[in-house]
Structure 1
């Protein structure tokens, strides 16, 4: 009887073979998956213990056939079938770009990324990793930014439980190297020709843990926070390319994977734009499912107009630039890093909850997306932004409220007004001095007032429609009706409070 696999889940075939030489380098193992006249070629991988695997994510219901191809006789010509059955539960498929500013799952269900950053939660050991998963069960987040490689940085000085390559750390790290992005890699720690399968199995487990919670894994492939601890930021070009091929072979069949090529790519001083372009192309050509692809900046932006970039991952403090970025790149914009709610001495990690929430509303109201992080100091130095654990800030509950508001907007979501003239055609006094506004055609308008406290606001609503107007208190998480069944010029009276928004919805 054929194995059954849900649409957008993954089928895995394992084959055993003893080989000579280095199975990571010397063995080619692939498979073709066929449905009727369609054929998809997929790269397999060596998983240790004389075991080779190939994974496939079917996107069409019915009977699929597969056949393996290898330069090793015992791995070549193995074949079989499996049945792809309808998806169940919260399986909506991988996330895609639509509109062009927004996202949806493959089955058309709208998806609005409400993300958090937890860079190396997956390198902290079983107890803390389990606590992070437990926290996420009750958190508002549906996307997690996380690194493949371990991180050496402020509040990140512990060694991970295991490493991505065979080898060992043979010298103590020099703390004076912190923040020196020119630090050279340590000598001869690793055999870069041999991956450590246990490291990648652990990574896969955590990606699937997130999938079970409905959370997308925004996987950071490279980062510059090594400072001579391990040298994973300065691997030779051939090693980087082989790593990308191995990573995509193992992970691309998991539907909740996003590829984030780097965090602060411009601090990786040994790599230039040609390298990044090449790495994008390698992943794109080795990922038959076309998962989302982005790259995150420190200072200067990567050219997000390039065709292999699916959406913009941005670090910036000024959410009022959101309409400019959307129009410039004509792609979704996710400000994954605007700063973090916390109290550490670094400026980026000491935002108040009010400041972070203001960034969220400014970005979302203009048609973009903004991400969360938390950096409250504690004696154990277990900061959420780095290691996970528990959340203690005031923003997550209010981000959950914002998510409810956003998910009620007509699909696929808000867009920025095409011009100030168009904006003033609906909101005569405009959106200025730190305000943000967006719309969904004539069906929905949102004006975020931020720290402004006007006593009145005026709307010029299309005369052929009828609307109701709500007052949203973004901090106190309340919604009050201000007007019903109105059109044309409407004036609403407001309380003098900060962090209010006005929502105008066309009545059916």
Structure 2
């Protein structure tokens, strides 16, 4: 007689237990200290039995109860693909008393605004009941030459409603509202859009990026997930650091973060609280959102794009496990408030596959909400941990990747370009010295990965995780930079800007050295950790070249030859991190 091995047991990896809703529920009930641990995500690869045996807060009876109940879960008993779409609850047409005059609310707005600058209508309206859920407010904007857009309005507390729009065309614009609240319905106005110095939002340009005005944009990215949840002193220190750093994009979370080195309690939350301290998921906290908006505007003043992460799993407050209706309401509210900010990007999730309760249908639905109501059409992405989302989905504008191999990271850029979208390696590992392999590479290796990805036609982002006695690590909380890679990333940006079109486009290199540029005009070879003392080059003898040796670590450029052609030899310094640039001679 044979016995069937249970689906979940002591040898099952914690990752697999958490990915099954029924099994994860067993852990939540019997071992809440594990599920609520800020170190949870460092345990994923460990066998469940080992995790249970080393959890000091669990008794022997608790451990046995977990394993006994898990053993009863039948294979395939939980359907994670079931559509959890909530039934829409339309706001009532009787929200205001009968007889309320249509369009009677008072509105204020500026008479003019610059192109690609935020226009806002403020409305003094009703405040009874719960306006966050009881009132639906939209506006239709009509501009010159048939330009049109529809946007969501939102309730901002104290009887105040706002409608925001980022006009893309100069000229006369008018708007009219629609609402289930009579006083907010059919409000109309007109304003002028004038010339502006704003470059507009970032757009995809083939495999690269430009601002809406056509100016080239290079994403020199960094990550500080929870920097806007740290209080004014540390946040302003972060802004000062950013002001002298080379970064043009920062990844940041809307929700606060609970994880290793992230145990402090934020001052503000996206939702208000009840008398018992619980979160009211149908009532947003306008003060929280106003604070976030202030920080986004301050980033804009520094020329930095805010890559906003809508969902993540590093959570002890319950935001990662909200019900579908609350999730949808949150995405709509964030879109209504923030889509008229010029420098916003949308990231549906950091490590979407760690949000075990969410399904593909959820991610597709939220992407649809953002697409429907973001009249600015900001960039959109979704970021992975172990499982890569289908980057070919039409709503995804660019590929946002975390490394999928411990060593090959930037090298994968070549493969990831198969989706025919710009590749941004938002997480190639971080320069630092913490215990985790994703956060203890050297500055030299960080810079090498940035160059490797660049000559393969992608954009590799920065992060920093140096141990700090106050647990202020840049990757989470911001503060000060201590590493050696940022200034070298600025140098890479300079070399990129000097390439044709201001981008590095891959061309055929050698088997041991990738290359980028324009064949016959400008070619950049990168040798990475190799350290040759010389190099033979073979090119069409009809083209003559000037040759630069670029030390990517010491940030120097030396022209070592002029007017060479055909087969020629270039002497090199015999150390790593060297590039050779061939420029067609004048």
User: Normalised by the size of structure 2, how large is the TM-score?
Assistant: 0.78
Give the match for residue 183 of structure 1. none
- Counterpart of 1:158 (choices 252, 264, 271) is 264
User: Which structure 2 residue ranges, 5 or more long, are not aligned?
Assistant: 1-108
Change (3 A) 1:170 1:406: farther
Of the three residues 281, 285, 301, the one matched with 2:388 is 301
Alignment partner, residue 4 of structure 1:
112
- What is the correspondence of 1:345-356 to structure 2 with a 5 Å cutoff? 345-356=435-446
Q: Offset at 1:191?
A: 1.4
Distance 1:497 1:79, change over 3 A: same
Matched, 1:60 2:166: no
1:2 and 1:131 mapped to 2: Cα distance?
Answer: 33
Q: 1:231 to 1:2 in 2, by over 3 A?
A: closer
Q: 1:467 deviation in Å? A: 2.5
Aligned to 2:238: 132
Task: Check if 1:380 corresponds to 2:470.
Answer: yes
| Distance (whole Å) between structure 2 residues aligned to residue 452 and residue 108 of structure 1 | 38
Give yes or no for the alignment of 1:234 onto 2:340: no
1:123-174, Cα deviation, whole Å (9 max, x unpaired): 0001000000000000010000000000000000111111111116968xxx
Q: Does 1:314 align with 2:395?
A: no
The counterpart of 2:309, out of the listed 220, 224, 229, is 220
Residue equivalent to 1:116: 222
Counterpart of 2:363 in structure 1 is 276
Aligned equivalents of 1:169, 1:468: Cα separation in 2: 72
Unaligned runs of 5+ residues in structure 1 are: 172-188, 418-422
Whether the 8 Å CA contact 1:169–1:230 is kept in 2: the answer is no
2:152 to 22, 40, 43: 43
Secondary structure, aligned partner of 1:450: coil
Q: What residue is the counterpart of 2:377 in the other structure?
A: 290
Distance 1:144 1:168 in 2: 33
* Structure showing greater Rg: 2
Distance in 2 of aligned mates of 1:343 and 1:109: 38
Give how far 1:71 is off. 1.8
Cα deviation, 1:327-346, whole Å, max 9, x if unaligned, reads x2111111111111111111
Partner of 1:94: 201
Query: Match for 1:84 among 193, 218, 243?
Result: 193
Give the Cα–Cα distance (whole angstroms) in 2 for the partners of residues 397 and 138 of structure 1.
10
Give yes or no for contact 2:150–2:373 (8 Å, CA) kept in 1: no
SS in structure 1 opposite 2:469? coil
Q: Does residue 343 of structure 2 align to residue 253 of structure 1? A: no
Cα drift, residue 196 of structure 1: 1.0
Name the SS for the 2:262 alignment partner: coil
> Equivalents in 1 of 2:545, 2:500: separation in Å?
14
* 1:331 corresponds to which of 421, 430, 435: 421
The answer (yes or no) to whether the contact 1:219–1:260 under 8 Å persists in 2 is yes
User: Which of the residues 464, 467, 471 maps onto 2:545?
Assistant: 467
Aligned length: 473
Residues 2 and 81 in structure 1, CA contact (< 8 A), matched pair in contact too: no
Note the C-alpha offset of 1:107.
0.9
Give the alignment of 1:334-373 within 5 angstroms. 334-373=424-463
Spell out structure 1 runs of 4+ moving beyond 4 A: 168-171
In the TM superposition, residue 459 of structure 1 has moved relative to its aligned partner by: 2.4
Q: Which has the larger displacement, 314-323 or 330-339?
A: 314-323
CA-CA distance at 1:489 after TM superposition: 2.4
Residues 15-24 or 303-312, more deviating: 15-24
Question: Normalization by structure 1: what TM-score?
Answer: 0.90
Distance 1:360 1:195 in 2: 39
Q: Sort the Cα spacing of 1:2 and 1:288 in 2 relative to 1 into closer, same or farther, 3 A.
A: closer
Cα–Cα, structure 1 residues 170 and 351, in superposed 2: closer, same or farther, change >3 Å?
A: farther
Measure, in 1, the Cα distance between the counterparts of 2:256 and 2:420: 34
- Give CA-to-partner distance per residue, 1:377-400, whole Å, 9 cap, x none: 111111110000110111111111
Which one of 264, 277, 280 corresponds to residue 191 of structure 1? 280
Call closer, same or farther: CA 1:259–1:2 in 2, change over 3 Å: closer
Post-superposition Cα deviations, 1:264-289, rounded to whole Å, max 9, x if no partner, equal 11110001222212211111111111
Is the 8 Å Cα contact of residues 112 and 191 (structure 2) preserved in structure 1? yes
**Which residue number corresponds to residue 504 of structure 2?**
414
Deviations 1:80-128 (A, max 9, x none): 222111122xx211111112x1111111111110000000000000100
**Offset at 1:2?**
6.2
CA distance in 2, matches of 1:58, 1:241: 26
Contact 1:102-1:412 at 8 Å conserved across structures: no
Q: Deviations over 1:442-477 (max 9, x none)?
A: 332111111111222222334444321111101111
Native 8 Å contact 1:413 1:440 kept in 2: no
